[in-house]
Amino acid sequence: MHPMESGQSITYKQFPVALDERVCSRCRICVSLCECFTYDEADDRIVVNSISCKGCGICVAACPSSALSHIYDDGMFYESRSVPGEEMIAFDCSNCMYLWKEEPERIVFCERRFDMGKALRSAGEGKEVVVKRCLFSDEKIEEKSEKVRKTQALLRMCKLEERLKVE
């Protein structure tokens, strides 16, 4: 944990899920996958708690009737600048909504939410790009993700490979 300094920013977005009840087959797969869903037996309907939805998309991918979709709304994109106090350096997509942490000289990504485009732009602007393992996950990430490997190859072609650090 490090205190946030002036000029730093944290960017995150949340794309909650919407349910089309006309299409929903009430198979309850979503209920079994995520705590954001409940089945209302009295009304025979699935209820979505979109406030607690982190937007991971597992339910959208698993829905056999395509009744679930993400709500893509500009109002769901957030950026915090110079937030006082302490914050996390690495992020977990199942435990938080952070996409990256941007500082004046570097940008820090969680490997699970690594954004190739943002990383390449940042490296081109002279920033150090840091990819970290999630602090919350018990999983050990043995190999670099395909996105990180491709980014390394592109940066190598541009002679900027020293700007990418995987920790």
> Read out DSSP for 31-76?
HHH-TTEEEETTTTEEEE-TTT-----HHHHH-TT--EEE---GGG
| Average of per-residue pLDDT across 64-88 | 61
15 SS3 class: coil
Q: 3: burial class by Cβ within 10 Å (0-12, 13-18, 19+)? A: exposed
Q: pLDDT-derived band of residue 44, with 50, 70 and 90 as boundaries?
A: very high
Residue 107 has pLDDT above 60, yes or no: yes
By residue count, the chain amounts to: 167
Does residue 79 share a domain with residue 27? no
Q: Which domain holds residue 51?
A: 17-70
Q: Which residue has the higher pLDDT, 102 or 42?
A: 42
Does residue 90 share a domain with residue 29? no
Does residue 149 share a domain with residue 93? yes
Residue 50 has pLDDT above 80, yes or no: no
Residue 36 has pLDDT above 60, yes or no: yes
| Average of per-residue pLDDT across 132-150 | 66
Vertex 23 angle, CA 18 and 26, to 5°: 85
How many structural domains are present in the chain? 2
| Average of per-residue pLDDT across 5-31 | 77
* Pairing of β 77-81 and β 9-13: antiparallel
Model confidence, pTM: 0.46
